[in-house]
């Protein structure tokens, strides 16, 4: 793995400011990003840690849906009573998609932003 810098963001504004620099990448749970860094697929110059920012809430939306914070973990979302009751398939998918250790760290935002898992996309020599 290539050397990289690390900064912990104190606020969303600070995170955006730090990540605006070329070569910076956000890290929350890091379950996919760290693997990609080990393989040389991603080589950020600096990681901006957003894991402690207060964006973990799961709240009722006016339309009957849910507003889910990007930093909510897969475990928190899968076990939320509203998700289990109203969006059962989502809960089951989250529970079957990874081990408990990964679900406890992996975030909703990270899952949405992760790179494809197809091995040929990981080929760094092309």
- Please tell me the pTM assigned to this model: 0.75
For 33, the token pair is: 């990003």
Within 10 angstroms of residue 96's Cβ, the number of other Cβ atoms is 8
Q: Count how many domains the chain has.
A: 1
Q: Can you tell me the distance from the alpha carbon of 24 to that of 33, in angstroms, rounded to the nearest whole number?
A: 12
Residue 77 token pair: 């979302």
pLDDT digits (tens, 9 = 90+) for 69-119: 999 999 999 999 999 999 999 999 999 988 999 999 888 988 888 777 666
Instruction: Note the pLDDT tens digit of each residue in 4-26.
Output: 999 999 999 999 998 888 799 99
Question: Whole domain around residue 15: which residue ranges?
Answer: 5-122
Cβ-based neighbour number of residue 114 at 10 Å: 14
Torsion, Cα 33 36 40 45, to 10 degrees, reads -10
The CATH number covering residue 63 comes to 3.30.465
């Amino acid at each position: 793995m290539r050397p990289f810098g690390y900064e912990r963001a104190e606020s969303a504004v600070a995170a955006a400011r730090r990540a605006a620099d070329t070569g910076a990448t956000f890290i929350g749970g890091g379950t996919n990003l760290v693997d990609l860094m080990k393989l040389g697929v991603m080589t950020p110059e600096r990681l901006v840690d957003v894991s402690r920012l207060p964006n973990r809430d799961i709240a009722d939306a006016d339309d009957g849906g849910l507003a889910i914070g990007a930093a909510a973990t897969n475990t928190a979302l899968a076990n939320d009573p509203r998700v289990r009751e109203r969006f059962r398939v989502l809960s089951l998918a989250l529970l079957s998609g990874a081990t408990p250790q990964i679900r406890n760290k992996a975030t909703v935002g990270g899952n949405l932003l992760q790179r494809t898992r197809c091995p040929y996309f990981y080929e760094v020599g092309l």
